[in-house]
Each structure stands twice: as C-alpha cells, then as structure tokens.
Copies of this chain bind each other. A is one copy, B any other.
Amino acid sequence: MGLLIKNIDLLSMNGRDKIIYNTNIYIVDNKIIHIGEERQDIEVSRVIDGKNKLAMPGLINGHTHIGMSLLRNYADDLPLHDWLTKAIWPVEANLNGEDVYWGSLLSMVEMIQSGTTAFCDMYFFMDEVGKALMESGMRGILTRGLIEDQDNPKRKLEETRELFNNWHGKGNDRIKVMVAPHAPYTCSSDFLTKTIDLAKDLGTGIHIHLSETKKEIEDSFKNHGKSPIKHVYDLGLFDVHVIAAHCVHVDDEDIDIIAKNKVYPVNNPGSNLKLASGFAPIDKMLKKGIPVALGTDGSSSNNNLNMFEEINLAALVNKAVNFDAVSVPAYTAIEMATINGAKALDWDDTIGSIEVGKKADMILVDMDKPHLYPKHNLISAVSYGMQGSDVDTVIIDGKIVMENREIKTLDVEKIKFMAEKRAKDLIKR
C-alpha cells in the first residue's frame, strides 16, 4: 500500500541538497522508501500530482502550550505581570479537562492548516492532549508542566510517571512523554533534582523554560549567585536530553554550556517580541554550532501557532538585531523549523528532513500563489514570503491528514463551535 508523490520539487532539508527539481517520492506504510526516478517495482495505491507544488518536511513547533488557544485574543496589550497574574492565571485556575481537549483540537486544526506536523506541548490535563493527538494524527510530545506544589510535590511527579506509562510510544510511536519542571524560578533545587531523577528513571528527556526574561536572570543571580542555565547545569539537569524553551537572556558562559551539553534551545520569536522579553542571541548560538529550534509558545502570547510566521520572524528580526543583512539566512531559518526542531525533540533519527528511511512527515505547499512569483529562488520564497495558507497537503506518519486544505481527521466545524463555547464559558466561571 504505497503512496507516490509524482513530479514534485523537493526541499529535503537533508543538509546537502538545496532544491531537487521534478522528482518522485515513494512512501510505504509510514516510511519514505525512495526518492528519485519513477519505479515500477514499488506498488502504489495512490498517486499525488506534484505539479506547482513543493514538498518539504513538516514543520516542528518546538515549544507551545496548545490548550491555551482558548485564551487567544483574551487579554492582550497588558504589562507582562498583569497579563499573567490578573488575566491568565486566574482563568487557568478554572480550566478543566474538557476545555483542554477542545482547545488542543482547535490548536491542532490551526497547526495542520499551517503545515506543522509535530510539536512539543507543556500544559495540564495532558491525557486530553493525548486523546486529541490520537484523533488528529499529529506527532507530539506530551509534558505536564510542573510548578512546585509544597503540599504534595510527590503526587505531581507521580502524575508524570502515569502520563508516561499511559502514552509514551502510543499512536505508532507518534507520541512521546517527557518530564516538565516549569522553570527554575517555579521549582526549588530539590524539586528539580527529583525531576531529573524521574527523567533518568523513565529514560526520557526534560522540557523546561529557561532564561526567558531579564527579571528571571536578575533573580537567579540574587538567589543562586549564577544564571538560570548555570544553576540547572550544576544540578545535573543536562545529564538528560533537555528541550530549553526561550534562552533569550544568555551570556557567553551560558552559550558555552549549551554548546557542550544535550540542551536544545527553542527560540520563540513571536512570543518574545509580544511579551517584550527581548531578543535572543540566535546568530551567536547558531555560529557556536547549537541547532536552535523554533516554537510559537502559546497562542495567547503570539497570537497564533503558524510556524511560517516564526520562520519569517527568525529570518528578519535577527538581521536588524545584529545590524547584519546576512544574519540567519533563509535556509537556516527553515532548518530551525525542521531538522533543528527534530533534534530538539530528540526525534531527528526519524523526522525533520525528507530522506529515505525516515518517517513520512511532510507538507506539500502550493507554489502557484501570486505572492510566491517570480520563482527565482524557492528557498527565499519559503522563508520570506510563504504563508501558512499556502500549505495544500499534510502527510504525517505516512497518512494524508490534510489534502486541498481539507483536514481528513478532524471535524473542523464542530471544533470551532466547541472551542468558542468552552472559551466563553471558561472566562465566566
């Protein structure tokens, strides 16, 4: 039962080739088994015409809080502290599992429609996100955000163990579970150590917020005499694979630590701009060989989950920050959203590029849109001009999840209706 994508231009992101023109991609089950000339010996049950399309790896959202879509456009243009303490946290305290289920589905619709195939989520009621993942056909990492609760920290850790036992490896290995201490400023050293022990015990990684705001750095130096990154490094956090969201305010020593350890920074340019967190030294980190990934953060601080916008922001903003028009060129920005994302999610053995042997997570984008003409350079077009709405077809784990912009796995009308209903109900509770 094979799928053939015929006569298509390919941006494989394999690190060697730029664009391969007019090629053929064969997918059997969930794997890419051949790229190149047509083959009669591979049985195919379905052929997709690649004319005027470009195949590229599905985008990888390295850091998000997808249940938060219910709070999109709810409380913008507030100072960060008021936004969190007066708007977001009081409402989040009333969230229940059903809210998170519908919010997560709304986010998955948006992600699929804009070409994202995999993501790393940190939120609550993660069983609901697992259910939504099974239904949508997406690939994702579930992490239950752990803010230390002095009353029963042990219970919170046990919840993550249960989440791992219930979901890790489910959906034909589309789902993984990691441990997620929220941040060094919301978890004590003792609690962080326990999360490291748990991750080691489960043989999995850690997802954490690190060095997002100036205040966090100042407080860390006050409380621990060192930066957040040095602090968690000294605690042994980097003994396991770590997805480090933000890393905005990092100094040279922090960057050295990141470069020498299994820490994978996820840059969230949209959120860092909107929340006025600042500009991360992306160019410097990339030049040190750190495969910086990209994420959207939650859609209440963005306000969307469109990775093409993050690619565009990463390619644009760093040029002005560094007064250097060559900083973060087009190809690099796409790497951040594809292969670097796969590295961050510890999934680069199977996704992040279109190569024989890898799983078939890819998108076909419509290159026939006026804003992508003329076709001097397709890599420029993807990085500087492409819109999420240019995504035509989404394939995840070998299955067609969207075709001609129609999502096959989810009831979009019902999801919009239910998300709206839950959102309005939530803020009245």
Residues of B within 8 A of A376 (CB): 71-75, 423, 427
Contact A329 B76 (CB under 8 A): yes
Contact B381 A73 (CB under 8 A): yes
Min distance, Cβ A72 to any Cβ of chain B, angstroms: 7
C-alpha spacing A309/B311, complex, angstroms:
13
Contact A320 B374 (CB under 8 A): no
**What are the interface flags for A100-117 relative to B under an 8 Å C-beta threshold, 1 for contact and 0 otherwise?**
000000100110011000
Contact A385 B303 (CB under 8 A): yes
Contact B375 A73 (CB under 8 A): yes
Which residue of chain B has the shortest Cβ distance to A77 in the bound complex?
A: B329
Q: Which of A59-67, A365-373, A393-401 is the interface stretch?
A: A365-373
Contact A274 B325 (CB under 8 A): yes
Say if the beta carbon of A275 comes within 8 Å of chain B.
yes
**What are the interface flags for A416-429 relative to B under an 8 Å C-beta threshold, 1 for contact and 0 otherwise?**
10011001100100
Say if the beta carbon of A358 comes within 8 Å of chain B.
no
Which residue of chain B has the shortest Cβ distance to A308 in the bound complex?
A: B387
C-alpha spacing A326/B79, complex, angstroms:
6
Given A278-B320, A303-B385, A320-B276, is A77 in contact with B325 using a C-beta cutoff of 8 Å?
A: yes
Given A305-B371, A374-B419, is A319 in contact with B387 using a C-beta cutoff of 8 Å?
A: no
Residues of B within 8 A of A276 (CB): 319-320, 322-325, 327
**What are the interface flags for A41-78 relative to B under an 8 Å C-beta threshold, 1 for contact and 0 otherwise?**
00000000000000000000000000001111111111
**Which one of A83, A370, A373 has the highest number of Cβ atoms from chain B below 10 Å of its Cβ?**
A370
User: Which of B270, B303, B415 is A380 in contact with, Cβ under 8 Å?
Assistant: B303
Contact B330 A370 (CB under 8 A): no
Which residue of chain B has the shortest Cβ distance to A214 in the bound complex?
A: B323
Contact B79 A370 (CB under 8 A): no
Say if the beta carbon of A24 comes within 8 Å of chain B.
no
Given A319-B273, A374-B423, is A384 in contact with B326 using a C-beta cutoff of 8 Å?
A: no
Say if the beta carbon of A412 comes within 8 Å of chain B.
yes
Say if the beta carbon of A389 comes within 8 Å of chain B.
yes
Contact B304 A385 (CB under 8 A): yes
Which residue of chain B has the shortest Cβ distance to A413 in the bound complex?
A: B368
Given A73-B384, A368-B416, A387-B388, is A319 in contact with B275 using a C-beta cutoff of 8 Å?
A: yes
Say if the beta carbon of A160 comes within 8 Å of chain B.
no
Contact B113 A370 (CB under 8 A): yes
Min distance, Cβ A75 to any Cβ of chain B, angstroms: 8
Say if the beta carbon of A266 comes within 8 Å of chain B.
no
**What are the interface flags for A258-284 relative to B under an 8 Å C-beta threshold, 1 for contact and 0 otherwise?**
000000000000101111111100000
Residues of B within 8 A of A322 (CB): 276
Min distance, Cβ A270 to any Cβ of chain B, angstroms: 6
Say if the beta carbon of A302 comes within 8 Å of chain B.
yes
Contact A316 B113 (CB under 8 A): no
**Which one of A79, A272, A316, A419 has the highest number of Cβ atoms from chain B below 10 Å of its Cβ?**
A316
Residues of B within 8 A of A257 (CB): none
Given A276-B319, A306-B387, 6 further pairs, Cβ under 8 A: A72-B381, A76-B384, A78-B326, A106-B370, A370-B415, A374-B419
**Which one of A79, A324, A372 has the highest number of Cβ atoms from chain B below 10 Å of its Cβ?**
A372
Residues of B within 8 A of A70 (CB): 374
Say if the beta carbon of A377 comes within 8 Å of chain B.
yes
